[in-house]
């Protein structure tokens, strides 16, 4: 119908729409969602784009159905996505756990707003960061990517699909209302220039195939519904055949694998940006929109002669533990401005060497940090307080 | 005697091509109706002649939720109440599949009630088989949205004071294309219904009234599984013309069985195809839209930049 229905070129584009375009570019052809501010534009864009591409758009009755639906679609072999905000994620968490347990590749977008509860629907926050890591019950490894601009929202949506396909799990894309509703220049390259990773399908015959058998990378090969493999998948603790097994031995093989398949690949998954890290006394660690709003404070600190470094996390989970550990041996301390009352700063504290100071610059969301507050914290750390 | 047993064991199970024999014995209690329900399901699939390779089964949580695990199909044992939206995603992303949801009354009508009515409203092309035993079996006999008024359960020690759902009435009112009710006594008719549903387009709903001797009968002096079946036999009548909204179940009334709805309505996907196809085709050529949006966007961008600079 539309031979050239891919969007290529330079655009002045909203973050949410860039996310939808990123999903399309990554090959997403199934979207299930439920309207919620500030993520609705993603669903609206998908509703426009997917019919043109013979894809499936379905507006489900709630967020619980949305996540269940994209897991089902994933099993039919589709690259699938849902997009929501904090309250929707809270509803989805049980089935996010199912996705982790079944190892179903998909992408869950959280355009964060201020919480708790209904909180600030039209305004922003970063207070769902720990929820993304620990939201669903039980132990599992997880991946969260945090964009700070519409361009990066596009880029990281592609990356999120790649990670979900490669490591077989639901991947979180933790944007916020500012990035989602911001309109900026977005460059969409031809698909040929993008790195697109697809899940590894098994080459074994159905009779030899074990759905949860794995190799050194700890990631099982996939077989989709309708291909004659006829295997079982469950949210219960299961053996390599996918059959429920309530033994300690089985639990002890499965759950650590779910954690380690991410942990062992942290070098591949962890995306960071560094500036002036070498020889710095103070390192500011930031992510998402905060990494842009605090920049003037860094310039001010530099003018005051403070040796300041800057580490931006594009991947927040898995947390770059080793990197922080090593950096902490060389610096006086870290300053962590974030739009919550202390979440990622706790991780930095956990990983930092005993002698280094970790200073949180909190913000409850709905506004941006005052430069002076960030500058003050930088100065305090520089002076060893 | 020992010789006979050995001979019995050597004889292959007549359904071993579709049952996961390596998972037997199953976890269901003796006297439970689930064995009969699964047998009818397997016979129904055979009768319909659908390909096992192209059939997927999705269950939620509960006694009936375990059905998926015993059938050698693409089988998915999902979370409590969410089998229907999972199945919807599976079906829409691969429309060649026959997708069946096999779950219990608590799973489909309490925690998952919202999904059931919406899937029926959309007329998604899936089949939902609901085994109704009037109680939560797996967790030990708590009240269900189907527990008859006055019946005892472990969370209704003085008898149930909540009005139960009439499952076939709800499914029909929500827009299902096919609605039937049978008990596990009606093995042949149930098999036929399952075969009909397997071939039929649209949202098909089959309620299977089933005995639960372990908790429902024990709490309500219903006797053994066999006693319950005998009771079904005396209470059941077949009336295909009955209005499904007028035949609720209680402790001692007639169990009205039959095929109450069998209509052809456009499915979700047919509506997607026919409803928006022409509009999609009329949609401005993408290339044109792309160049337009580029132009417009660039203009806005320049205006925006200019306003910031001034």
Block residue for tokens 């008990």: B183
Least confident among B84-98, B230-244, B262-276: B262-276
Say if CB A61 and CB A38 are below 8 A apart: no
Q: Does domain B11-265 have CATH number 3.40.50.970?
A: yes
Contact criterion met (CB < 8 Å) for A225 and B87: no
Query: Would you state the CATH architecture of domain A272-382?
Result: 3-Layer(aba) Sandwich (3.40)
- The pLDDT assigned to A14 comes to 94
Question: What is the secondary structure of A201-256 as a DSSP string?
Answer: B--S-GGG--TT---TT--PPB--TTSS---EEESS-B-TTS-B--SHHHHHHHHH
User: Per-domain residue ranges for chain B?
Assistant: 11-265, 272-309
Cis amide bond preceding A116, omega within 30: yes
- The pLDDT assigned to A52 comes to 84
Element holding A112 (H helix, E strand): strand A106-114
Please tell me the distance from the alpha carbon of residue A319 to that of residue A128, in angstroms, as a whole number.
Answer: 15
Instruction: State how far residue A107 is from chain B, nearest Cα, in angstroms.
Output: 14
- The pLDDT assigned to A384 comes to 86
Top-level class of domain A9-193: alpha beta
Return the residue of A nearest to B275 by Cα.
A51
Q: Measured between beta carbons, which residues in chain B are less than 8 angstroms from residue A185?
A: 301
Could you check whether A9-193 and A272-382 share the same CATH topology?
A: yes
- The pLDDT assigned to B4 comes to 60
Lookup: tokens for A115 = 């919480």
- The pLDDT assigned to B45 comes to 97
Region of A103 please: left (phi>0), alpha (psi -120 to 50) or beta: left
Contact criterion met (CB < 8 Å) for B69 and A51: no
Catalogue the long-range contacts made by B184-187 (C-beta closer than 8 Å, 24 or more residues apart): B184/B33, B184/B36, B184/B37, B184/B40, B184/B208, B184/B209, B184/B210, B184/B211, B184/B229, B184/B232, B185/B229, B185/B232, B185/B233, B185/B236, B186/B236, B186/B257, B187/B36, B187/B39, B187/B40
Mean local confidence (pLDDT), B11-20 = 91
User: Per-domain residue ranges for chain A?
Assistant: 9-193, 272-382
Contact criterion met (CB < 8 Å) for A65 and B72: no
- The pLDDT assigned to B310 comes to 42
- The pLDDT assigned to B309 comes to 47
- The pLDDT assigned to B279 comes to 77
Q: State residue A81 phi and psi, 5-degree precision.
A: -150, 150
Question: What is the secondary structure of B52-88 as a DSSP string?
Answer: GGGEEEEE-SSTGGGHHHHBSSEEEE-STT-HHHHHH
Query: pLDDT (tens digit, 9 = 90+) per residue, A182-234?
Result: 999 999 998 889 999 999 999 999 999 999 999 999 999 999 999 999 999 99
Lookup: tokens for B108 = 């489909």
Q: Measured between beta carbons, which residues in chain B are less than 8 angstroms from residue A4?
A: 286-287, 290
Lookup: tokens for B132 = 């109704």
- Which ipTM score applies to this complex? 0.95
Using a pLDDT cut of 70, give the percent of chain A over it.
98
Contact criterion met (CB < 8 Å) for A230 and B285: no
Query: pLDDT (tens digit, 9 = 90+) per residue, A129-187?
Result: 999 999 999 999 999 999 999 999 999 999 999 999 999 999 999 999 999 999 999 99
pLDDT at A114 over 60: yes
């Amino acid at each position: 119908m539309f031979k050239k229905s891919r969007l290529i070129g330079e655009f002045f584009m909203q973050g949410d729409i860039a996310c939808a375009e990123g999903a399309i570019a990554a090959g997403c052809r199934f979207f299930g969602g439920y309207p919620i501010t500030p993520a609705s534009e993603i669903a609206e864009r998908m509703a426009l784009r997917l019919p043109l591409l013979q894809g499936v758009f379905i507006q489900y009755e709630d967020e619980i159905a949305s996540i269940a639906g994209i897991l089902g679609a994933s099993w039919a072999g589709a690259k699938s996505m849902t997009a929501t905000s904090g309250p929707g994620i809270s509803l989805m968490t049980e089935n996010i756990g199912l996705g982790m347990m079944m190892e179903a590749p998909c992408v869950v977008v959280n355009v964060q707003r201020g919480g708790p509860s209904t909180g600030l629907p039209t305004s922003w926050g970063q207070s769902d960061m720990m929820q993304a890591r620990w939201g669903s019950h039980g132990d599992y490894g997880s991946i969260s990517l945090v964009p700070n601009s519409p361009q990066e929202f596009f880029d990281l949506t592609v990356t999120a699909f790649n990670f979900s396909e490669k490591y077989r799990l639901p991947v979180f894309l933790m944007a916020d209302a500012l990035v989602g509703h911001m309109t900026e220049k977005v460059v969409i390259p031809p698909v040929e220039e993008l790195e697109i990773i697809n899940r590894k399908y098994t080459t074994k015959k159905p009779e030899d195939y074990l759905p949860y058998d794995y190799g050194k990378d700890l990631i099982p090969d996939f077989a989709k519904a309708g291909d004659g493999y006829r295997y079982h998948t469950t949210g219960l603790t299961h053996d390599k055949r996918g059959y429920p097994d309530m033994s300690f031995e089985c639990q002890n093989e499965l759950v650590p694998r779910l954690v380690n398949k991410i942990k062992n690949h942290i070098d591949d998954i962890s995306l960071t940006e560094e500036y002036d890290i070498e020889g710095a006394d103070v390192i500011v660690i930031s992510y998402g929109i905060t990494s842009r709003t605090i920049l003037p404070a860094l310039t001010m600190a530099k003018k005051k002669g403070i040796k300041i470094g800057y580490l931006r996390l594009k991947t927040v989970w898995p947390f770059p533990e080793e990197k922080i550990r090593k950096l902490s041996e060389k610096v006086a301390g870290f300053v962590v401005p974030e739009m919550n009352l202390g979440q990622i700063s706790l991780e930095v504290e956990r990983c930092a060497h005993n002698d280094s100071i970790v200073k949180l610059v909190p913000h409850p969301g709905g506004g941006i940090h005052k430069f002076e507050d960030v500058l003050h914290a930088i100065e305090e750390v520089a002076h060893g307080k | 005697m020992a010789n006979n047993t050995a001979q019995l064991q050597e004889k292959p199970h007549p359904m071993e091509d579709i049952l996961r024999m390596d998972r037997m014995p199953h976890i269901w209690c003796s006297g439970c109706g689930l064995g009969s329900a699964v047998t009818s399901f397997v016979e129904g699939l055979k009768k319909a002649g659908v390909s096992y390779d192209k059939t997927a089964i999705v269950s939620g949580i509960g006694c009936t939720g375990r059905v998926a695990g015993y059938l050698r199909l693409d089988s998915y044992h999902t979370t409590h109440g969410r089998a229907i939206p999972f199945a919807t995603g599976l079906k829409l992303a691969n429309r060649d599949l026959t997708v069946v949801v096999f779950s219990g009354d608590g799973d489909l009508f309490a925690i998952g009630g919202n999904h059931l009515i919406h899937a029926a409203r959309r007329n998604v092309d899936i089949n939902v088989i609901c085994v109704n035993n009037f109680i939560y079996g797996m967790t030990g006999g708590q009240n269900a949205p189907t527990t008859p008024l006055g019946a005892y359960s472990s969370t209704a020690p003085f008898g149930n004071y909540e009005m139960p759902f009439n499952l076939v009435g709800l499914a029909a009112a929500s827009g299902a294309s096919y609605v039937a009710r049978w008990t596990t006594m009606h093995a042949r008719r149930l098999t036929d219904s399952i075969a009909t549903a397997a071939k039929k387009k649209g949202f098909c709903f089959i309620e299977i009234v089933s005995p639960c001797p372990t908790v429902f009968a024990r709490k309500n002096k219903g006797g053994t599984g066999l006693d319950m079946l005998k009771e079904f036999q005396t209470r059941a009548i077949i009336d295909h013309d009955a209005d499904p909204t007028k035949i609720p179940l209680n402790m001692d009334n007639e169990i009205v069985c039959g095929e109450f709805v069998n209509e052809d309505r456009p499915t979700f996907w047919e509506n997607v195809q026919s409803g928006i196809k022409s509009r999609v085709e009329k949609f401005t050529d993408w290339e044109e839209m792309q160049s337009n949006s580029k132009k417009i966007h660039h203009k806005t961008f320049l205006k925006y930049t200019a306003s910031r600079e001034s």
